[in-house]
Structure formats: structure tokens, C-alpha cells
Amino acid sequence: MLDRRLLHLLMAVAAVNGLVCIFAPLGIVVRHGGAHAEVGHSIYFAAVVALALTPLELVTLWLVLRPRLVELVDRRQIEAEIARMIDGQLLEMAFQPIMNIASHQVMGVEALARFTASPSMPPDVWFSRAERIGRGAELELLAIRKALDAARRLPEHLSVAVNASPSLVMSGELLPVLLRAAIPPQRIIVEVTEHTSVEDYPPLLHARDQLREHAIRVAVDDAGSGYSSFRHIVALAPDIIKIDRALITGIDHDGARRAMVASLVLYALESGSLILGEGVETSAELDTLDLLGVDAAQGYLLGRPTTRPDDWADWRESSTLITSPAQAAPLRPTTPNI
């Protein structure tokens, strides 16, 4: 549709170009013709411009401007979609259970956004598009508020993990939202998502310390993948380390993956962090995590994300909720709640 409109515009410009070229001699004559000299002057210069814009140059101009025009139209469309999403609050929250591997009990949940707006797109695409137009933090906060509001219907012993980008954590806007939640702060975990590298850690560490002052714990999401490297983990010193599913899938028959996870387990033992494996889909993967000393697990094998309160009510059996980082990762066989 966009290409057709621009093609029509190009054809119109070419037509005008041709007409002006036809009347160019008139402009040249009138320009030297007394009473109508001012009108002739304008026609003359229009003719000069038209003669300069040959068809080849018009095509070149089209090729130069087209990407910018496409980007501009695309941005306007994204702005309208995100505005409709945020203003209408067109998302709901699903919760996925997190299991204590030692006790096989549900000990927490992760809140995951499910968008109901059109067009249908994965959550990460919605968040990426919102970030592109400068409304990423606004959409994140909307999802967090809805998650913590829905958490009132969860069993009271379950912790609730919400996702937040480093920029949102450092902005100062997140903590007031968490403190106004309907659940106590010690049940809240902030999972720091990272799809770009953190260039300046002191502001992030200051924000982390503010969260901890209110008993809110911090987790590093997708550890071992992308920018969530060992350097990032050591710098942030999280209460919980969530191992990316890329290291979990097939871990039962892959020595390299086992070695990587074992190194994270050793770090967690030294630092006092709890360690959690994401994306567990087979019993063999779960058994391997247990043998390696991983504390908790999350994945389709243990439960899919669900928006049904009836499903949430089934997650009532749990061990005692931990309330401080010092309790986060005691030695085996005792495994804490998250």
C-alpha cells in the first residue's frame, strides 16, 4: 500500500515536471515582458528546477527518501498500536510455577505478560516496539502493576518474580510501584532482564541496594546467555541466578553444559545466591540439575504459564518462604523457598 502511494506521488511529480517544462519558454519570455515580469520570474525558476529534475534524478530522489518515509510511517503505526495497548491496558498476566527441586513443591511464580491487543505478537516484540518509541518503561510498569494486583489471588506463601529492564530499575520509578503493591515486599523478586550491556554499574547497584532495603530480592535472568555473563553476575551479586534455558536443554547428555552449570552452582555456594534452572522440559534434565546441586527449576515439565486463578489455587504446598539473602542457598540437602 505504501509503495503504491509513493509510486502515484512519483508519477504526479513527473507529470508536473513535464507540464512545467512545456511552459518553460513562456516563463522565459514573460520574465522579460514588463507588467507580468514578477509572475514570469516565478515560472522561470520553477522551469529551471523542473528541467534539473530529470527522470533519472527523480528515481534517485525516490530511492534516497523511500527508507525514511517507510520508517516514518512504520513509527506512526507503532505509536498508535502502543498507545492503544497502554491506554486500554490490553494485557493480562500469566503465572508460571517455580519448583523446589529437593522437596518437589511449588515455592514461587514468575509473572509473564500475555497481550490481548491486535496485531497478535509475542510479548518480547511488544516490549521491543514500545522501547523503540520511548514508551518501554511505561509498558513495563503497566505489566508489573497488573502482575502484583493479580498476585493477591495467589497462595500467600508464594514469591512473585516480575521482569524489569536495567533502565527501569535505575529510573527510580520502579520502587514506588513495588511498595504500593497489594502483597508484602518480601514476596517480590525483581528479575533484571538484560538484552543490552550495562555500561555504568554504580547506578544499578545503588538501585539494587534500595530494593534490598525493603526486603525485595534481585535476580539475574537468562544467566549464561547474551549479555548476562559472569562479569554481569559478579557485578550485580544477585540473590537469585536464573540459568538460561540454552544451558538446560539437553544438559543430561552434554558435558559442556553440565560444566557451565556446575561453575554457576559453585559461584552460588560461595556468594550465597539461590540458583534456578529455566526451560526444564524433561525428567532427565531435572534429575541432572538435582545432581549438580541446582536449587530450583522452572519449565513446561513442571507447569506452563496460566492465567487461570483455579490453577494458581493448586500451588498451595510449599516450604517456608525465605526473607533474607543469607537464607538463599544453604548447603544440600536443605533447599530454600524463593
Same domain, 140 and 280: yes
Return the C-alpha torsion angle 77, 81, 84, 88, nearest 10: 180
* pLDDT at site 203: 93
Regarding whether 129 and 31 lie in a shared domain, the answer is: no
57 and 183 share one domain? no
Based on the fold, state whether residues 209 and 322 are members of the same structural domain. Answer: yes
Q: What is the spatial distance between Cα 306 and Cα 181, in angstroms, rounded to a whole number?
A: 21
**pLDDT at residue 224, rounded to an integer:** 74
148 and 293 co-located in one domain? yes
- AA letter at 169: V
Task: Report if residue 9 sits inside a domain.
Answer: yes
- Cβ 311 vs Cβ 162: under 8 Å: no
pLDDT at 320: 37
Q: Is residue 128 part of a domain?
A: yes
Of 28, 58, 79, the position where a domain reaches its end is 79
| Model pLDDT for residues 239-277, shown as the tens digit of each residue | 999 999 999 999 999 999 999 999 999 999 999 999 999
Dump pLDDT digits (tens) for 15-74. 666 665 555 555 544 444 444 444 455 555 555 555 555 555 656 666 666 677 667 767
CB-based contact 328:275 (threshold 8 Å): no
Residue 338 lies in a domain: no
Check whether 159 has a pLDDT greater than 70: yes
Q: Indicate the residue among 79, 111, 141 that finishes a domain.
A: 79
Angle between helices 55-88 and 136-150 (to 10 degrees): 20
Residues 75, 93 within the same domain: no
Q: How many domains does the chain have?
A: 2
**pLDDT(334) > 50:** no
Give the model confidence (pLDDT) of 278-330 as tens digits: 999 999 999 999 999 999 999 999 999 999 999 998 887 544 333 333 333 33
Cell numbers linked to 318: 510449599
For residue 334, being part of any structural domain is answered with: no
The range of the structural domain enclosing residue 47 comes to 2-79
Which grid coordinates are listed for 181?
Answer: 503493591
Residue where a domain terminates, one of 30, 59, 79: 79
Three-state secondary structure call for residue 241: strand
Q: Are residues 43 and 168 both part of a single domain?
A: no
Of 115, 116, 190, 107, residue with least CA distance to 148: 190
On whether residue 332 sits in a domain, the answer given is no
pLDDT at 164: 95
Residue 335 domain-assigned? no
Is residue 196 included in any domain, yes or no?
yes
Nearest 5 degrees, angle CA 302-CA 276-CA 269?
145
Greatest alpha-carbon span in the chain: 104
Each residue's pLDDT tens digit, 95-148 = 999 999 998 999 999 999 998 877 788 888 889 889 888 899 999 999 999 999
One domain, residues 244 and 218: yes
5 pLDDT band (50/70/90 cuts)? low
Domain match, 174 and 37 both: no
Neighbours of 286 (CB within 10 A): 23
- Say whether both 127 and 10 belong to one domain: no
CATH number of the structural domain spanning residue 181: 3.20.20.450
- In this structure, the answer to whether residues 40 and 125 fall within a common structural domain is no
**The three three-digit cell numbers of residue 156, written as one number:** 500467600
Report the relative pairing of strands 91-100 and 296-297 from DSSP bridges: antiparallel
User: Within 10 A of 308 (CB to CB), how many other CB atoms are there?
Assistant: 10
Radius of gyration of the chain from its Cα atoms, rounded to whole angstroms? 29
Q: In terms of domains, do 13 and 118 share one? A: no
Residues 6+ apart with CB under 8 A from 290: 101, 102
Residue 138 in any domain: the answer is: yes
